Structure 1
Amino acid sequence: MDIKQITYNVFSHLLVNGTFSVDCFFFIGGYLFMHNLRRYIEESKRIDRDNSSSLSELGTTTKFDKIQSSKTNLSLFVLYLNRYLRMTPTMIFIIGFGAITLRYFGSGPEWTNSTVMFDLWCRKNWWINLLYLHNFLDTDNMCLSHSWYSAVDFQFYLIASILIILLRRRAAIGIGLSLFLILGSICITWIMTIVNNYPAVPYFNDIMFVYKNRLFAIDFKQTILFFKFLPPPNRPLDVINSYYQNIYIKPYCRIGPYLIGLLLAYAIIINQNSRKLTKSQLILGWSFTIVSTLGVITAMLPANNGDIPSVQLAAIYSSTSRIIWSLGLAWITFVSSKNQGGFVQRFFSLKCWIPFSRLTYCAYLVHPIIIALFYGSRQQTFDYSFYLILYFTISNICITYLASIILALFIEYPISAIGKILLQ
């Protein structure tokens, strides 16, 4: 079977666009942060009122008590510590397993290549992960390379905490700063795509070599900007690695979906009593969502077949596609909050998703180890086929969630519960 031809089919194109699923998680993260923090604030206010009433009945209310019960303070330290305790223990366990015990679980011709990011790199750079800076420091040897998402998510959390305080106190400034950050993310991604000659989507095929005929970059080392031709990359993988390190795992290129989710939650909160959407508004909104999301996914299908877009067009797609995708998610979430989401709302509201949602973090951390154990212990290669890959995928998902149940019950949930008790 010609592996090169496989990369040109529609299924391969959909797999490459699977990276938009990460933006779904960023969007959900921003939305839930605002939504859950609001519930925390309301619960704190209720407790303050109850305490104030109890003190008044006892006749022991002081001026200080009245001041404290009249407002709810948002402690950034408590927010950050709570998030750190929520995310870190499970990661520590996975790092320890990879660095200490994984080497005893198998062997094979590809064992070292398959497990290096869990074994060697974790023994070297485990401490960077605990600081959530592994998407910036020594990214070539990143411990748990897939955990870049945790670093970016934690960095978004730090930024969003400040934005939420601004939204509570100076709403206009908070909204303006959020929109400025989204626009800045678009501009940075656009510039970096042009400067580094990245394709719109980093495919694993000879699309990279086609780019060598017309690559150019802006040289910022000179006083005046000018264009120059660059030598072609040695391999497609070089371009993909560069794209990964400079754009894909950097918060300033990925923050757009997170802030869109946060702003949507804020808009829903302050407009809780707004009227239902009209039929024409629903038709217009759903039309935009369907056209935009399908357009984002299919726009680069010609490029996958060798019809390479210009560098400028690639930059526009790379910098705006995730924003457009997130706006589609925002519409679905918005109409669902008004109970006007139809069958889409009913599908995503099914209770069968709840167990999976509670195991998502553990599954995310452990699934590459399951895959590495399987492929690293192979003593010989196997012939590629769609059904074989489907079989491996389903098997890996099942094993991953079984392992996630154990991790959640014995590591994540107990330590998170202890952390909440200590913080309270």
Structure 2
Amino acid sequence: MPIKLKVARTAEELDDVFRLRYDVYVSERNKFSEKRATNDGRIVDHFDVLPEVANVVAYDGDTAIASFRVNRDSSVGLAPEKYFDFSGERAKIAKLDEEGCALIVSCSMLAIRKQWRHQRNVIFALFKKVTAVMRGWGATHVFGAASAETFSLYGRLGVEAIAKDCWIESVGDRLVPVVGRFEKVFAWAFGAEDPLTKNFWLDNSCVEFETLLLSPGEVIFHENDEAEYAYSIEKGGVSISRQGPGQKDLVIAQLCKGTLFGELAMFDDERRTATATATMNTQIIAIKRKQMLDIVHQDSDKMDQLLCHFSQRLRQADHVALVQQFAPQTSRVSYALEQLWRSAKAQEEYPATRTLKIGAEQIAKRAQVRESEVRRILEVRRASGGLDYGDDTVRFFRAPSSDDFVSANGAQ
């Protein structure tokens, strides 16, 4: 079951958030002692009912596993100001704000169930979604009150402590007041990405879209399912397959980062014609049918983006068909490696090096060849210095090309 992240909007989703806080802070961590006495199974305060508040929540199936609250500045202040005096920081911001454009926001009530507390992909996706909310509001500065236990996590976001940690009796924890410029927080979450320059379905800063985290082998949708969402791959890979003769799954496409899929059913109202399965740890953006239709109907530029996508997809489909029908096994593997390289994650210290969690068996399924052939080609490319690999990892040192294979074969 994929992990789903979204902004809580319904009464049921908000109740899930409030109950999650109680489970994490009171039941698991023995914090908020006065809330334990009420025994109502929820933690709620007046910052939850202000107009400009958003709670990002992550679900594993029907269970809320993590949440994080963000508030926009208001006349009653921000949540961290319940515990610390930020007036000095407000004065500094006001002094530099000549155009009156500063907007302070706060993050609070970070709650993650114990079982998921060390899953970095969940934590990062949660922070990224909260950052997207702040970006949508036009935030310039961020206030917070971090637990001393988790302060190092906040430090990576580009925020700084403005005083030493102190014991807050009502919370039952040592808290640290933190402040940061939003541009630093955004850079940590999104890096060099600029969502405004991308196709709209890749706008991972859009708070209206949901985010799904999938493990290898998890199914996104099955053949003949009703279609409710279109999807785009933020990172990882997805296999598209159909059931052939003898109930055998036939892989018809291997999708990588940046690909939009499942979108045709948004327009023709038909059931799914294939099954979509994650081939590795994958993060995708989920766009509801109504959102997709509203976007293209209201913005002609985005309609043009979609039409361009359709034309490119038709050309690619022709190329894939030629490779699978007429190319030898070596060419199929080479094509699969090129696609994998495009979706692989570049290493910060060595940008030319890209690493991917995938094994020879999965690559063989992508290329529709024998695993032994994949291992043979990987060995050849390792010998040429193009890559290295292990049981479940491939590390590219440069973009794959046919020259790697030819030169290495010629040297043997």
Name the TM-score class by shorter chain: under 0.3
The structure whose RCO (Cα within 8 Å, separation 6+) is larger is: 1
Normalized per residue, which structure has more strand?
2
TM-score, with structure 1 as normaliser: 0.21
TM-score, with structure 2 as normaliser: 0.22
